[in-house]
Amino acid sequence: MITGAKEKGLYLGVDIGSSSSKAVVINQSGIICGEGIVNLGTGSKGPQISVEKALEQAGIKRADIKKCVVTGYGRLLYEGADKQITEISCHAKGVKFLWPTASTIIDIGGQDAKVIRVSPNGIVENFVMNEKCAAGTGRFLEVMARVLDCKIGALSGLAARGTPGVVISNTCTVFAESEVISQLASGKSLEDVALGAHKSIAQRIAGLCNRIGIADSVVMTGGVALNLNVVTAIETEIRHPIIRLADPQAMGALGAAIYAKEMDEENNTNR
């Protein structure tokens, strides 16, 4: 994977979210040479660390980067990028690059849940996002994990052992938290409650999907895609299979890096 600094064109994409930062370095052929994912978001050292990690993995220095594009909530505050592009376009770009037939992209990050519709040639046609509220986002899962006293990474396994039946009806994360507590108090198992929480997220996302319309293929990105049980729950709600890419968290940063490469190519052809 490490290609070294001899490469002529190297491009950096940085995706600064609310709770994590991602950086990806690609070469002229679009191959990923380095990647850094850090669980610290905007306003922290996270962006810087993720970039350092990606550069280190690629075996290069910042000066070797020809162009850099930044995306995500922290994009407006990040200095040192040539351009900032929204996470909507970047996710679409990244996913289309790896999965050209993707038409619907479900992206669930720390504070955002969005569904993006992409045309066959990669143009974002429309997108919908969660309203100004943490329902249906990664933050909701973080809160659930805390109440269920398990690590966020273990939530999927926990829910997989649950039996359906627990309903978490509140969309508000804070209210859902107290609902979960009272479910546990009434004797429901951790596994069943975890499954109920996942179903509740899946229903929110299905609502967004229905608003925009689902078309084949459906690809899921963002940190929440690492939770296999949520992915399955969404598949059930939308009655459609979901493709999970190997590195769902890095899609925004990858898209940003591809934009950086395209910018450079455009500059060269205009010259």
Partner 1 sequence: MEHQKTSKQLLGELLDKHYADALQAKADGKPVAWSTSIAPQELLETMGIHVVYPENHAAAIGARKHAQEFINHSEGKGYSVDICSYARVNLAYMDIQQCEAANIPLPDLIFCCNNICNTVIKWYENIARELNVPMIFFDLPFNHAYEVSDQNVRYIKAQILEAIIRLEEITGQKFDYDRFGEVMRISSETSLWWKNASLLACAKPSPLNGFELFNYMATIVCMRGTKEGLELFKLWHDELKEKSERGIGPWKDAEEKYRVMWDGIACWPYLGDTYKVLKKYGINMVTSTYPDSWYIVYDENDLDGMARAYSSNYVNRNLDFGTDNIVNIVKDFRLDGIIYHSNRSCKLMDFRQFEVQRRVEEATGVPSVIFDGDQTDPRAFSLAQFETRIQALVEMMEARKKEWGVS
Segment interacting with partner 1 (CB under 8 A) among 120-128, 140-148, 171-179, 232-240: 120-128
* Given 63, 79, 131, 269, the residue binding partner 1 (CB under 8 A): 131
The rounded Cα 113 to chain-centroid distance in angstroms is 9
Long-range contacts of the stretch 230-233 (C-beta < 8 A, 24+): 230/108, 230/141, 230/156, 230/159, 230/198, 230/201, 230/202, 233/195, 233/198, 233/199, 233/201, 233/202
The answer to whether 211 contacts partner 1 (rule: CB under 8 A) is yes
- 167 to 206: interface string for partner 1, x by CB under 8 A: ----------------------------------------
The answer to whether 267 contacts partner 1 (rule: CB under 8 A) is no
The answer to whether 265 contacts partner 1 (rule: CB under 8 A) is no
How far is Cα 160 from Cα 191, in angstroms, rounded to an integer?
7
* Given 125, 153, 178, 241, the residue binding partner 1 (CB under 8 A): 125
The answer to whether 152 contacts partner 1 (rule: CB under 8 A) is no
Segment interacting with partner 1 (CB under 8 A) among 21-29, 117-125, 191-199, 234-242: 117-125
Segment interacting with partner 1 (CB under 8 A) among 48-56, 126-134, 166-174, 226-234: 126-134
